[in-house]
Amino acid sequence: MNLKTLLSKETIALHLKGTTKDAIISELLDVLVSGGKITDRTSALNAIMERENKMSTGMKHGIGIPHGKTSTVSDLVACIGISDAPVDFDSLDGEPCRIFIMTLSPLEKTGPHLQFLAEISLLFKSSEKRAEILKAASAEEVLKILAE
């Protein structure tokens, strides 16, 4: 599983406008729809919110990872969104988030989903990497940072 191969400039959104968890999730779903990654937005939203209602996907260090499993995708799909302003995401550390990684995976495939989440957590442990992502001026720059 390689985060860099799952993402493209079409699945990276800078300057998210949402100011709430629900607004951010909606905006990220729009990125996946416009990027051609999902066709059934309602089912995808239901999967994300079902997971979110079990336990918040707001992690530490300003990162939110809304994710879910759904029959509307045949392979793992992902997008990244970056907000200029911190957003309350019910994070484990109580801090707001600015970096959001959304992923949806098929119901019957657990391996890629877990591998992806593990790779994200490793990648964003670095405070330098997080700072670079937050300063990125373009989707291409985000991809370059992720490839380093």
Tens-digit pLDDT profile for residues 45-59: 999 999 999 988 998
Integer Cα distance of 43 and 83 in angstroms: 25
Q: What's the confidence (pLDDT) of residue 54?
A: 93
What CA–CA distances, in Å, run from 25 to 20, 31, 144?
9, 10, 24
Q: Are strands 77-87 and 97-105 parallel, antiparallel or unpaired?
A: antiparallel
Integer Cα distance of 33 and 41 in angstroms: 7
Q: What's the confidence (pLDDT) of residue 40?
A: 94
pLDDT surpassing 60 at residue 96? yes
Helix/strand/coil for 77: strand
Residue numbers annotated as active site: 67
Tens-digit pLDDT profile for residues 56-88: 899 888 999 999 999 889 889 999 999 999 999
What's the CATH class of domain 3-147? alpha beta
Helix/strand/coil for 82: strand
Integer Cα distance of 110 and 99 in angstroms: 24
Could you tell me the pTM of the whole model?
0.92
